[in-house]
């Protein structure tokens, strides 16, 4: 698999800005890549006839729980001809807090500090040693690029794109369900109010079945019916007990945002299920037809001339039914409304395994499956997610037929029989 940086949007890049009043030295050229901006000698203004100055551009961080290792690195660099200068790289495994470069004498990855602070290594060095790049328990990597012009500053390098080859270890369908679960846990909130009669107490136990989330406000409706004085202090670790001050006697009201439990119905609900709750049913995956399914990758360095045909990532639709259950009808409907807000088609669900996104394609109409006899009210919200995934083998080897045409001409045409010489053709299949 790979991670491609194409610099299509400006916010993917972080440019190192020199001390004021100087401006950014590097720039993204739409449809081209990143290069150095031509500036006047004081580096204060753009000058089309000016020169380039050394700059560093930081690429976006890639964080993925299932990231196993880096297996290679390629970049389209233009540093010759009408271009010039050089391009170097440093990598980070903590989101950019610290940076690593490669010490070829050690050899190994070392912190880019002290004598190594200005050491940026070539594409070839990163490619050769990508497999030994140390990934921390929080699996992530980030790259920053040093762009240097030629000695006079008249020629600038161009970086068109960068590709990091990766190995992931994950199950696609499990990741889809888990990522959706954590997405809902972070966003689904229901506005709640809890009231109780207390006497000289400074705590109240909220028993709505939902965990108390902020903002939380506490009022004594007996002495403060207009809700002018907020008494809230804290919420205990149990997510139920609310502390306020000073101790109060009368009708105490707690307003808060309730956080429901979210379960994957097929495996978690039967073990840990509770009411009220949000249930994620097992996704139904439908792959979309892909007419051009193979990308040919010919490796001319192989003697057998076997090509590697890599299937494209498969486009898929995932139909998921999200159930909202409660013992009160209005609670089930409130949960369903909160789920709809959390999975609005303008949002996307982040894949925790590979760091990419599952797009929310559509949200269907709610369906009610109430079981009044059991005092169970259920509202289902159907959702369709879409994205790309490696659902087929990554590489398939295909033999390449090479046609060789050879023409033989004699050294002495008078002896062999004519100046036209002899010619013949030969077709050879190599690698099969």
Identify the top-confidence range among 85-99, 281-295, 373-387.
85-99
Helix (H) or strand (E) holding 306: strand 306-311
Question: Exposed, middle or buried, 64 (CB in 10 Å: 0-12/13-18/19+)?
Answer: buried
Q: Which CATH fold topology does 2-168 show?
A: Jelly Rolls (2.60.120)
Residues carrying CATH 3.30.2000.30, the chain: 261-389
Mean pLDDT of 341-361: 90
Identify the top-confidence range among 14-18, 109-113, 317-321, 386-390.
109-113
Q: How many CB atoms lie within 10 A of CB 264?
A: 17
Rounded CA gap, 346 and 158, in Å?
Answer: 35
Q: What global pTM score does this model have? A: 0.73
How many H helices and E strands in the chain? Answer: 5, 28
Lowest mean pLDDT among 141-150, 199-208, 295-304: 295-304
Q: What percent of the chain has pLDDT over 90?
A: 52
Residues carrying CATH 2.60.120, the chain: 2-168
Rounded CA gap, 284 and 124, in Å?
Answer: 43
Rounded CA gap, 25 and 39, in Å?
Answer: 8
CATH number of 261-389: 3.30.2000.30
Rounded CA gap, 120 and 369, in Å?
Answer: 61
- Asked whether residue 315 carries a pLDDT value surpassing 90, the answer given is no
């Amino acid at each position: 698999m790979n991670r491609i940086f194409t610099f299509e949007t400006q916010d993917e890049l972080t440019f190192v800005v020199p001390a004021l009043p100087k401006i950014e030295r590097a720039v993204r050229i739409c449809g081209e890549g990143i290069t150095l901006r031509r500036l006047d000698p004081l580096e204060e203004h753009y000058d089309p006839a000016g020169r380039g100055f050394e700059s560093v551009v930081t690429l976006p961080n890639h964080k993925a729980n299932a990231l196993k290792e880096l297996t290679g690195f390629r970049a389209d660099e233009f540093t010759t001809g009408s271009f010039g200068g050089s391009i170097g790289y440093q990598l980070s495994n903590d989101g950019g807090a610290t940076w690593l470069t490669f010490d070829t004498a050690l050899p190994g990855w070392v912190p880019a500090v002290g004598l190594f602070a200005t050491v940026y290594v070539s594409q070839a060095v990163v490619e050769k040693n990508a497999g030994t790049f140390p990934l921390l328990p929080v699996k992530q990597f980030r790259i920053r690029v040093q762009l240097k012009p030629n000695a006079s500053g008249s020629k600038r390098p161009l970086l068109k794109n960068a590709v990091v080859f990766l190995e992931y270890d994950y199950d696609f369908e499990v990741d889809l369900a888990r990522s959706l679960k954590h997405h809902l846990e972070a966003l689904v909130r229901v506005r709640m109010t809890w009231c109780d009669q207390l006497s000289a107490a400074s705590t109240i136990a909220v028993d709505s079945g939902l965990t108390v989330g902020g903002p939380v406000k506490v009022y004594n409706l007996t002495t403060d019916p207009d809700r002018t004085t907020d008494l809230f202090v804290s919420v205990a670790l149990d997510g139920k007990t609310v502390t306020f001050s000073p101790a109060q006697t009368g009708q105490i009201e707690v307003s808060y945002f309730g956080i429901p439990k979210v379960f994957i119905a097929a495996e978690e609900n039967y073990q840990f299920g509770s009411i009220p709750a949000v249930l994620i049913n097992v996704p139904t995956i439908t792959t979309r037809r892909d007419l051009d399914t193979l990308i040919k990758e010919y490796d001319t360095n192989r003697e057998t001339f076997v090509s590697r045909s890599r299937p494209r990532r498969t486009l898929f639709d995932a139909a998921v039914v999200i159930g909202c259950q409660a013992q009160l009808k209005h609670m089930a409907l409130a949960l369903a409304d909160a789920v709809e807000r959390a999975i609005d088609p303008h949002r996307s669900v982040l894949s925790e395994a590979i760091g990419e996104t599952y797009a929310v394609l559509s949200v269907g109409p709610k369906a009610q499956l109430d079981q009044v006899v059991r005092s169970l009210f259920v509202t289902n919200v159907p959702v369709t997610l879409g994205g790309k995934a490696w659902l087929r083998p990554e590489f398939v080897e295909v033999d390449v037929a090479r046609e060789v045409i050879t023409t033989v001409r004699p050294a002495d045409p008078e002896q062999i029989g004519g100046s036209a010489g002899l010619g013949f053709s030969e077709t050879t299949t190599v690698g099969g």
